Amino acid sequence: MQDYLVGLNPSQREAVEHLQGPLMIVAGAGSGKTKVLTTRIAHLMHNGVDAFNILALTFTNKAAAEMKERIAHILGNNEARNLYIGTFHSVFARILRAEAPKLGYPASFTIYDSDDAKSVVKGILTEMGLDDKTYKPSMVTSRISSAKNALITAEQYVADAGLQAEDAQLRRPQLGQIYLRYTQKCYKNGAMDFDDLLLKMYELLANFPEVLHKYQHKFQYLLIDEYQDTNPVQYQIAKVLAAVHENICVVGDDAQSIYSFRGATIENILQFQTDYDDVKVVKLEQNYRSTSSILNVANAIIKINKGQIPKNLWTDKAEGETIKVVRTMTDNDEGKFVADTIKEQKLRNHFANKDFAILYRTNSQSRSFEESLRRMGIAYKIYGGLSFYQRKEIKDFVAYLRLIANTRDEEALKRIINYPIRGIGKTTVEKLGVIANEQNITMFDAMQRAGEFGFKGGTSDLLKDFATMVRYFQSMLGQNNAYDVAVQVGKNTGLIKELFADRTQEGVARYENVQELLNSIKEWVESPSNDDGEVGEKTLGAYLQQITLLTDADKDTDDPDVVKLMTIHASKGLEFPVVFVAGLEETIFPSGMSINTREELEEERRLFYVAITRAKEKLWLSHANARYRYGQLVQNEPSRFIDEMPDTFVDKTYAGGASRSNTGFNNMGSAFERMHRGGFGGANTPPPVKRATEKPSYLAAPPTPKVVQHTPTENFIVAHTSDIVAGVKVEHAKFGFGVVQSIEGSSHNPVATIVFEQNGEKKIMLNYAKLSIVQG
DNA sequence: GATTGCGCGATTTTT
DNA sequence: TCGCGCAATC
Closest protein residue to C1 (Cα–C1'): A631
Average pLDDT over residues A749-774: 62
The answer to whether some atom of strand B lies closer than 7 Å to the beta carbon of A569 is yes
| Predicted pLDDT at A114 | 85
- Which of A552 and A647 is assigned the larger pLDDT? A647
Q: DSSP of A57-95, one letter per residue?
A: EESSHHHHHHHHHHHHHHH-SSGGGGSEEEEHHHHHHHH
Separation of alpha carbons A467 and A471, rounded Å: 6
Q: pTM, whole model, 2 decimals?
A: 0.82
A741 is catalytic: no
pLDDT interval class at A660 (50, 70, 90): very low
**pLDDT tens, residue by residue, A456-466:** 888 889 999 99
Closest to A186 in 3D by CA, of A217, A156, A154: A154
**pLDDT tens, residue by residue, A23-62:** 999 999 999 999 999 999 999 999 999 999 999 999 988 8
Type of residue found at A500: F
Contact (Cβ atoms closer than 8 angstroms) between residue A489 and residue A401: yes
**pLDDT tens, residue by residue, A498-535:** 888 877 777 888 888 899 899 989 988 887 765 555 55
Separation of alpha carbons A744 and A765, rounded Å: 9
pLDDT interval class at A536 (50, 70, 90): low
pLDDT above 60: residue A560: yes
Separation of alpha carbons A149 and A232, rounded Å: 6
| Predicted pLDDT at A679 | 25
Separation of alpha carbons A729 and A776, rounded Å: 9
**pLDDT tens, residue by residue, A356-412:** 999 999 988 998 999 899 999 999 988 876 778 888 888 889 999 999 999 999 989
The answer to whether some atom of strand B lies closer than 7 Å to the beta carbon of A762 is no
**Out of A113-117, A191-195, A650-654, least confident range:** A650-654
Which nucleotide's C1' sits nearest to the alpha carbon of A428?
Answer: B1
| Predicted pLDDT at A318 | 95
| Predicted pLDDT at A139 | 87
- Is the alpha carbon torsion for A483, A489, A492, A494 positive or negative? negative
Q: Containing H/E element for A210? A: helix A209-218
Task: Specify which residues A25 forms β-bridges with.
Answer: A251, A282
Which nucleotide's C1' sits nearest to the alpha carbon of A126?
Answer: C6
Stated in angstroms, how far is A399 CA from C7 C1'?
Answer: 28
| Predicted pLDDT at A743 | 66
Average pLDDT over residues A557-574: 86
Stated in angstroms, how far is A262 CA from B13 C1'?
Answer: 7
A225 is catalytic: yes
Closest to A313 in 3D by CA, of A254, A230, A225, A270: A254
Average pLDDT over residues A443-468: 90
Cα-based distances in Å from A548 to A89, A115, A184, A220, A282: 10, 11, 21, 29, 36
Separation of alpha carbons A596 and A406, rounded Å: 45
φ, ψ of residue A535 in degrees (nearest 5):
-105, 145
pLDDT interval class at A207 (50, 70, 90): very high
**Out of A64-73, A230-239, A366-375, A530-539, least confident range:** A530-539
The answer to whether some atom of strand B lies closer than 7 Å to the beta carbon of A385 is no
pLDDT above 90: residue A337: yes
Closest protein residue to B13 (Cα–C1'): A262
Stated in angstroms, how far is A152 CA from C9 C1'?
Answer: 47
pLDDT above 70: residue A591: yes
Separation of alpha carbons A10 and A2, rounded Å: 15
- Is the alpha carbon torsion for A361, A362, A368, A373 positive or negative? positive
A411 is catalytic: no
Contact (Cβ atoms closer than 8 angstroms) between residue A39 and residue A13: no
pLDDT interval class at A286 (50, 70, 90): very high
Separation of alpha carbons A252 and A258, rounded Å: 12
Average pLDDT over residues A691-695: 30
The answer to whether some atom of strand C lies closer than 7 Å to the beta carbon of A628 is yes
| Predicted pLDDT at A527 | 79
pLDDT above 70: residue A686: no
The answer to whether some atom of strand B lies closer than 7 Å to the beta carbon of A534 is no
Angle of CA points A548, A153, A602, to nearest 5°:
75
Mean pLDDT estimate for chain A? 84
| Predicted pLDDT at A478 | 84
